[in-house]
């Protein structure tokens, strides 16, 4: 399935129903008092989080969402029926902005899973409301109020505990396939992964949602490559796994690039918990791996040397993820 993480839609809440002008008809009374009922309220447009959705793809095909109008009032003081609310289902992690002002309307999470984004119009008053002692035969009625109409920008930020980040071809997808139940595409070329992938790592009673995103290159924070668009998906993770290819010319330089791009994307992105992974250790000598490991330890990093392809060091990494998360909770 194609992954879509941004969409623009138009929402229109229902207009209120019109009030009614009518007079009672009774035997021997040619014109009774006014009995025109009020119009019903227009339906609201509601955004609601759904477990079953993982992308905003549906919004590529349908962009206009209208809630039902309120019904008009009728005689015998009958109020028109209210319009039905229209519920738009979005994946958890969707942030909703008002298109015209860029104002944040709601961030759909488990804590706030629904929000009215456009309010239906009030129904108009029927002529029964306009009667006074000196105005016994009122013909006045109100039209319903129009429902709100808005352009919305939906932006999906995946909700994951751990984010995997690295230059293209470093072995990120191979790693998530080792850590979780995910089965991503793996290829011996850069930009194999074109959209984020989620997997779940179960460790005893703990479960971590892990996100693998497309590779980051120098300049990603300025929009180069695919990086910037996808950095938003690791914006909210608690922990980062920085994957470096230990057989590259200079893994420490790659580390510096990642650090720079993350910090330029958003301040504080690099200050969260992280583990640096020197991957593809099967391709280099032990001395070489040790050299880069020491260089990164001098930068105060916690480092795991491993081979995602051969499955070496996976258990140690799993343990470290669990311990780090445990420590964080213990110190919170």
Ligand X SMILES: Nc1nc2c(ncn2[C@@H]2O[C@H](COP(=O)(O)OP(=O)(O)OP(=O)(O)O)[C@@H](O)[C@H]2O)c(=O)[nH]1
What are the residues binding ligand X (CB under 6 A)? 166, 168-174, 186-188, 190-193, 214-215, 279-280, 282-283, 307-309
The 8-class DSSP code of residue 297 comes to H
Q: Which is nearer to ligand X, 46 or 308 (CB)?
A: 308
Q: How far apart are CA 113 and CA 22, in angstroms?
A: 43
Q: How far apart are CA 312 and CA 248, in angstroms?
A: 19
Q: Which stretch binds Mg ion (CB under 5 A): 6-14, 27-35, 192-200, 240-248?
A: 192-200
Q: Which residues pair with 48 in a beta bridge?
A: 89, 114
Burial of residue 294, with CB atoms counted within 10 A of its CB: 0-12 exposed, 13-18 middle, 19 or more buried:
exposed
Shortest Cβ distance from residue 242 to Mg ion (Å)? 14
Tokens of 152: 């919305």
Shortest Cβ distance from residue 88 to ligand X (Å)? 32
Shortest Cβ distance from residue 173 to ligand X (Å)? 3
Q: How far apart are CA 40 and CA 19, in angstroms?
A: 8
Shortest Cβ distance from residue 182 to ligand X (Å)? 11
Q: Which is nearer to ligand X, 17 or 168 (CB)?
A: 168
Taken in order 104, 109, 112, 114, the sign of the CA dihedral is positive
What is the three-class DSSP state of 24?
coil
Please tell me whether residue 173 binds Mg ion under the rule CB under 5 A: yes
- CA dist 315 to 237, 304, 319, Å? 21, 11, 6
Which of the listed partners (ligand X, Mg ion, none) does 169 bind, with a CB threshold of 5 to 8 Å by partner kind?
ligand X
Which of the listed partners (Mg ion, ligand X, none) does 188 bind, with a CB threshold of 5 to 8 Å by partner kind?
ligand X
Shortest Cβ distance from residue 304 to ligand X (Å)? 12
Q: Which stretch binds Mg ion (CB under 5 A): 8-16, 122-130, 186-194, 251-259?
A: 186-194
Give the footprint of Mg ion on this chain (CB under 5 A): 172-173, 192-193
């Amino acid at each position: 399935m194609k992954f879509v993480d941004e969409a623009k839609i138009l929402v229109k809440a229902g207009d209120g129903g019109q009030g009614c002008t009518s007079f009672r008809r009774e035997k021997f009374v040619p014109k009774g008092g006014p009995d025109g009922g009020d119009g019903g309220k227009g339906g609201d447009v509601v955004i609601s989080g759904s477990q079953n959705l993982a992308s905003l793809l549906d919004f590529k095909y349908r962009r206009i969402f209208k809630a039902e109008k309120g019904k008009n009032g009728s005689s015998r003081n009958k109020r028109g029926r209210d319009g039905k609310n229209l519920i738009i289902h979005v994946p958890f992690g969707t942030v909703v902005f008002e298109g015209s002002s860029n104002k944040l309307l709601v961030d759909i999470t488990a804590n706030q899973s629904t929000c009215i984004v456009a309010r239906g119009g009030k129904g108009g008053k029927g002529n029964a409301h306009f009667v006074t002692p000196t105005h016994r035969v009122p013909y006045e009625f109100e039209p319903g109020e129009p429902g709100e109409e808005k352009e919305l920008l939906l932006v999906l930020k995946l909700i994951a505990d751990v984010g995997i980040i690295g230059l293209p071809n470093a072995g990120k997808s191979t790693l998530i396939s080792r850590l979780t139940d995910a089965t991503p595409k793996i290829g011996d070329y850069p930009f194999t992964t074109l959209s984020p992938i989620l997997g779940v790592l179960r460790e005893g009673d703990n479960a971590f949602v892990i996100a693998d995103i497309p590779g980051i290159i120098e300049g990603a924070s300025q929009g180069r490559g695919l990086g910037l668009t996808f950095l938003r998906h690791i914006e909210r993770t608690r922990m980062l796994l920085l994957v470096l290819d230990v057989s590259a010319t200079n893994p420490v330089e790659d580390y510096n690039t990642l650090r720079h791009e993350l910090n330029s994307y958003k301040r504080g992105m690099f200050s969260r918990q992280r583990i640096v992974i020197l991957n593809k250790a099967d391709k280099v000598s032990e001395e070489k791996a040790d050299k880069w490991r020491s260089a990164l330890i001098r930068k105060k990093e916690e480092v795991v040397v491993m081979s995602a392809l051969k499955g070496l060091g996976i258990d140690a990494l799993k343990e470290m993820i669990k311990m780090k998360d445990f420590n964080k909770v213990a110190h919170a």
